[in-house]
Amino acid sequence: MDILTRLQQFIDSDRLTTQADQLAVASRDESTLDPVSPLAVVWPRDSAEISRIIIECRETQTPVTTRGAGSALEGSTIPSRQGLVLDLSRWTNIIEFFTDDLQITVEPGIIYDHLNNKLKDEGLFFPPAPGGSGDIATIGGMVSTNASGIYSVKYGGTREYVLQLEIVTGTGEIMKIGSRATKRSSGYNLVDLIAGSEGTLAIITAITLRLAGLPEGSRQSAFIFRDNVSAARAVSEMARYGLDLAAVEFLDSAVVSALNKLNDYGLDESPCLFLEFHGPEEALKANEELAGSICAELGGKPLILADGQRPWEIRHYATDAIKHLKSGYDIIRNDVAFPISKLPEMVGFCHDEADKASLIIHTFGHVGMGLLHALILARRSDKTEWQHGIELSDKIIKRTIELGGTISGEHGIGLGHKNLFELEHGRAVQLMRQIKKQFDPDNILNPGKIFDM
């Protein structure tokens, strides 16, 4: 019996489709990678049903890709040809709210902003804000890619918040891993192994997160600098002073220029840092003053904004500004992360290499964590230019690895960067393959993502 016939035995027809328009939706993510149409899309009812689906898939050697919002940026949710897509975007419930413990158990399909809206009433929040996509990104997707965001410099990435998971492995076994204790030294850390594994080890069906108290207050400021080196040094100095930064974002002058073109902000077109502080009023003042004097020592000047403009509103439009800068152009993206001292060198490298290749590049990111997004603009219609764009992106990643960094700070490897995965991890890749086999002996869970078996 083929996989479709098998699934039809126990899945209602309104939760299983092979309609072309639905397959098209499930065939892509937010990247510019080529879509791949799956065989069918299933909206499973519960973990037990997922377990049964996995067992059927294993028997028929059918690949399974789990999908939430499909807002992945590196192809992690692009399915395999003739594979199945498990769509968990309808799994949006809060399973249990442990308000006194500052913890919550949720289904993986709940959206980041929806969750935080519900937490607000209790004075709580889940901090790893995924940049501009909080209104679509699901918590399941964030766990799968170990997402982070603007507040990760203070609060950490998604992995730091995941306490317990219910998972279904590649053998269909339903399992709870982790516990509700916030600190643990009890055996191997399977939770942090699943977090960031992009659906290749198990399907996540329930997530217990720890939460943070909403800060008593917050304050934002922004500084412009003569050059990238000075801006980068300021970030490093702030860290050295033990300054309690909630966020620090870097935009190079090209991004600022793109923002001016998008919305006529009238900003000085210099590299800048956007800062945010969280805490009680007195602490905010003190931290802001310390940050101000560190920036001033490195030649930083307060960014002058028009009345009513808040720096973070401007930052929010960075990707949009780049996307709309030139019509007919698409974005070739990377998401490198490196030791913070390498920021000036890396920003310089990105621009120098882009100039050499006659390509347009913009760099920005959550630099407090050493994360830099280098967005290259190229035309897909111009095969040579597109190829040069990809080569430039690879060159940036290779330089990052040489400097002790990593291919991906927060987006994952997916299909987009698996060509360079072995360059970063060397012989450890073989161990990763062996670990995958223990969770998924037949390689049916999101096969071909991160690395090939």
The angle formed by the CA atoms of residues 345, 348 and 349, to the nearest 5 degrees, is 85
Residue 453 as a binder of a copy of itself (CB under 8 A): the answer is: no
Query: What residues numbered 309-338 form the site for a copy of itself, per CB under 8 A?
Result: 335-338
Among 198, 206, 169, 195, smallest CA distance to 58 is for 169
Query: Can you tell me which of 38, 68, 215, 447 binds a copy of itself, judged by CB under 8 A?
Result: 215
Give the residue from 259, 231, 245 showing the smallest Cα distance to 316: 259
Of 253 and 363, the one with the shorter C-beta distance to a copy of itself is 363
Residues 9-38 that bind a copy of itself (CB under 8 A): none
| Choice from 14, 100, 121, 307 touching a copy of itself (CB under 8 A) | 100
Q: How far apart are CA 242 and CA 247, in angstroms?
A: 14
Which of 38, 300 has the CB closer to a copy of itself?
300
* Helical ranges in 298-427 per DSSP H: 311-316, 318-323, 343-356, 383-402, 421-425
Q: How many residues bind a copy of itself (CB under 8 A)?
A: 102
Task: List 155's β-bridge partners, or say none.
Answer: none
Radius of gyration of the chain (CA): 22
Instruction: Give the whole-angstrom CA distance, residue 197 versus residue 174.
Output: 17
Contacting range for a copy of itself; rule: CB under 8 A; set: 59-67, 234-242, 259-267, 374-382: 234-242
Residue 421, interface with a copy of itself (CB under 8 A)?
yes
Which of the residues 172 through 191 are near a copy of itself (CB under 8 A)? 173, 175-177, 179-190
Of 198 and 385, the one with the shorter C-beta distance to a copy of itself is: 198
Residue 358 has a CB neighbour count (10 Å cut-off) of 8
Q: Which of residues 278 and 388 has its CB atom nearest to a copy of itself in the complex? A: 278
- Per CB under 8 A, the list member of 55, 239, 357, 390 interacting with a copy of itself is 239
Q: Does 451 bind a copy of itself (CB under 8 A)?
A: yes
308 binds a copy of itself (CB under 8 A): no
Does residue 121 bind a copy of itself (CB under 8 A)?
no
| Residue of 287, 319, 393, 446 interacting with a copy of itself (CB under 8 A) | 287
How far apart CA 160 and CA 207 sit, in angstroms, is 13
State the Cα–Cα distance between residues 186 and 2, nearest whole angstrom.
43
For residue 425, state whether it binds a copy of itself (rule: CB under 8 A).
Answer: yes
**C-beta of 186 vs 327, nearer to a copy of itself:** 186
Mark 146-175 with x for binding to a copy of itself (rule: CB under 8 A) and - for no binding.
xxx---x---xx-xx---x----x---x-x
Q: Does 138 bind a copy of itself (CB under 8 A)?
A: no
Of 340, 357, 390, 423, which lies in the binding site for a copy of itself, with binding defined by CB under 8 A? 340
- Per CB under 8 A, the list member of 411, 440, 444, 447 interacting with a copy of itself is 411
Residue 81 neighbours by CB distance under 10 Å: 10
User: Is residue 349 a contact residue for a copy of itself (CB under 8 A)?
Assistant: no
Q: Scanning residues 351 to 380, which ones bind a copy of itself (CB under 8 A)? A: 366, 369-371
Helix (H, G, I), strand (E, B) or coil at 191: helix
Regarding 405 and contact with a copy of itself (CB under 8 A), the answer is yes
Note the maximum CA span of the chain: 72
Measure the CA–CA gap between 333 and 131, rounded to whole angstroms: 15
Give the CA count within 13 Å in the CB-facing half-sphere of 87.
Answer: 21
* 112-119 long-range contacts, CB within 8 A, separation 24+: 112/137, 112/138, 112/139, 112/142, 115/139, 118/94, 119/211
Size of the chain, expressed as the number of residues it contains: 453
Nearer to a copy of itself, 319 or 334 (CB): 334
Please select the residue that binds a copy of itself; options are 46, 282, 352, 452, rule is CB under 8 A: 282
Using CB under 8 A as the binding rule, whether residue 283 contacts a copy of itself is answered as yes
User: Using CB under 8 A, which residues numbered 38 to 57 contact a copy of itself?
Assistant: none
